Amino acid sequence: MKLSTRFRYGTRLILELALNYDQGPVFLKDVSNSQEISLKYLGQIVIKLRSAGIVNSARGAHGGYYLAKHPEDIKLSEIIEALDGPFILVECIDNPEKCSRNEGCVTRIFWMDINDKFYNTLDSITVQDLLVKKIKRSGSITD
């Protein structure tokens, strides 16, 4: 299983905005340059994050993007849901009718448990947690 590039890049974008939380909006092109992510791809990501209420934008010469909430109020689970939809490890968890073997399927119960644990982990990590780790490391923001 791999996390999507969209989620990984979106998390890096959010972390960059968190680093500038009290300093005003950030130009997407600056994030693109510092994170080495295509500006066009970031544009697609930021649209979804705005729709989810995680990011806001300001127009004008001093415009750009900024977090809509404090970093401690944004969970990784929100970011993955905004960018990739609900986190479902295997299809039978969400749609048991898709599998003719779902009745009494021990592996489905196992997948549901793993899915819940993974989601709960994402739900327990905030952008503030990432920010603290970043500041402690004081290295570059990478995935």
pLDDT at residue number 36: 95
Query: What pairs with residue 125 in β-bridges?
Result: none
pLDDT, tens digit, 9 for 90 and up, residues 64-112: 999 999 999 999 999 999 999 988 888 877 777 777 776 778 888 888 8
Please, what is the end-to-end C-alpha distance for the chain in angstroms? 16
For domain 5-137, give the CATH number: 1.10.10.10
Q: What are phi and psi of 42, to 5 degrees?
A: -60, -35
Please write the tens of the pLDDT for every residue from 15-42: 999 999 989 999 999 999 999 999 999 9
Extents of the domains making up the chain: 5-137
The predicted structure's pLDDT at residue 119? 93
Look at residue 26 and give its three-state secondary structure: strand
SS3 content of the chain, % helix, strand, coil (to 5): 60, 10, 35
> What would the DSSP string read from start to end of 18-43?
HHTTTS--B-HHHHHHHHT--HHHHH
Count CB neighbours of 127 within 10 A.
25
